[in-house]
Amino acid sequence: MQFPYWNEIYRSLHFKPIYLVWGDAQSPLAYVCILTVQAGLRIGLVQRGPVELAPGALTDEAVSSLCEWAKSHHYGFLRFRHSDSDLMARLAKIAPAQRFDSFPLLPGYGAGPFELVIDQKSEDRAMLAGFHHEARRQIRRALEAGYVVRSSDSPEQFAEAWPLFVACSKRKQFTMNRPVESYLEMIRLARPYECARTYTVYSDGHAIGAAFVVRDRNTAVALRAAAELRKPNCSALMHWVAMRDMFHAGVRYYSFGPASPPVSRFKDRFSPRRVLCPPPVTVEIAPRFCRIWHATLPALVAIAPGLRWLARTAAGRRPSRLRGMKGPAEFRKSPSV
């Protein structure tokens, strides 16, 4: 979630990604992406960061320097989300901070209390043995029905699968928080680094299910998944192919995302472990600004759905600014924290 391919698309929603490194800019020890929005002072959102590039690089000195940088660049606060409980605890000790989400207008990925993660093994047989028998049965039935899974990192395949995602959102009554254009831009940015793929299930040439999976060095995340309501169900086969494909690409963990009913019942058939997601930490850079911001927050939360709708509408109409960008190379050009 710290890669440019993930953060650059937020420019269309009036967030500016700022990339910083700790250590030598040519050989950084750690880096961070801060999604920045102006609200009097700046507000910074850090999703699953900072990230270590060398063991033990995120020292207290590095974290303190990040806070000093934020103060010198007129930030009101920094909100951190991370699955590393130790890092979150250190953030709360090094600077004035609260275990509180000061920007629920953009909760970010992994906002639930738990994330469902599968530790992959080298042998398919060992992986399947760890699944619930119902997951194995669904995979077998889908193969017997002649379902075929094809994967691609092309924007075109995602666009073909988009109607499946939209139909699923209407059926389950949740809102798609991003327009299709933002996903297509994400795929274009991720493509040179092989960080995003669409897995589509076909039956007799007809697309009946799809999963959109993104990855970093260690973890692949099933960001979107949808399937037609038919028997046999294709979802288990779709995720099985996706996780093994990602494993062979060097990714050890496969994340189903937050645990939330009723979908978590399906996910539990793969026997994932539940990873506790600590509550967000808000590091207060300007305490007076934070007091004013927190006083106005209930009103902002009340109108948040309308603001998000306006942002999505504007994003869909705005010409792309992302073509030709060089993803991770931006870190090498960034100033040290």
Sheet holding 273-276, edge to edge: 148-152, 196-203, 206-215, 219-227, 253-258, 114-119, 273-276
Query: What's the CA gap between 228 and 252, in Å, rounded?
Result: 29
Establish how many alpha carbons lie within 13 A of residue 241's alpha carbon, considering only the half-sphere containing its beta carbon.
Answer: 24
Query: What's the CA gap between 26 and 3, in Å, rounded?
Result: 17
Cα end-to-end distance, the chain, whole Å: 19
Beta strand residue intervals within the chain, DSSP E: 16-23, 28-39, 41-47, 51-52, 75-81, 97-98, 114-119, 148-152, 196-203, 206-215, 219-227, 253-258, 273-276, 281-284
**DSSP helix/strand/coil, 267:** helix
pLDDT score of 331: 30
Instruction: Give me the CATH code for the 114-276 domain, please.
Output: 3.40.630.30
| pLDDT of residue 59 exceeding 70 | yes
A 10 A CB-CB count for 56 gives 8
pLDDT score of 323: 43
Same topology between domain 4-110+279-333 and domain 114-276: yes
Q: Are 271 and 132 in contact (CB under 8 A)?
A: yes
Has domain 4-110+279-333 been given CATH number 3.40.50.2300? no
Query: What's the CA gap between 275 and 177, in Å, rounded?
Result: 24
Q: Where are the domains of the chain?
A: 4-110+279-333, 114-276
pLDDT digits (tens, 9 = 90+) for 228-250: 999 999 999 999 999 999 999 99
pLDDT digits (tens, 9 = 90+) for 165-213: 999 989 888 777 778 998 999 999 999 999 999 999 999 999 999 999 9
Rounded to an integer, the average pLDDT of 151-178 is: 90
Run of H or E including 95: none
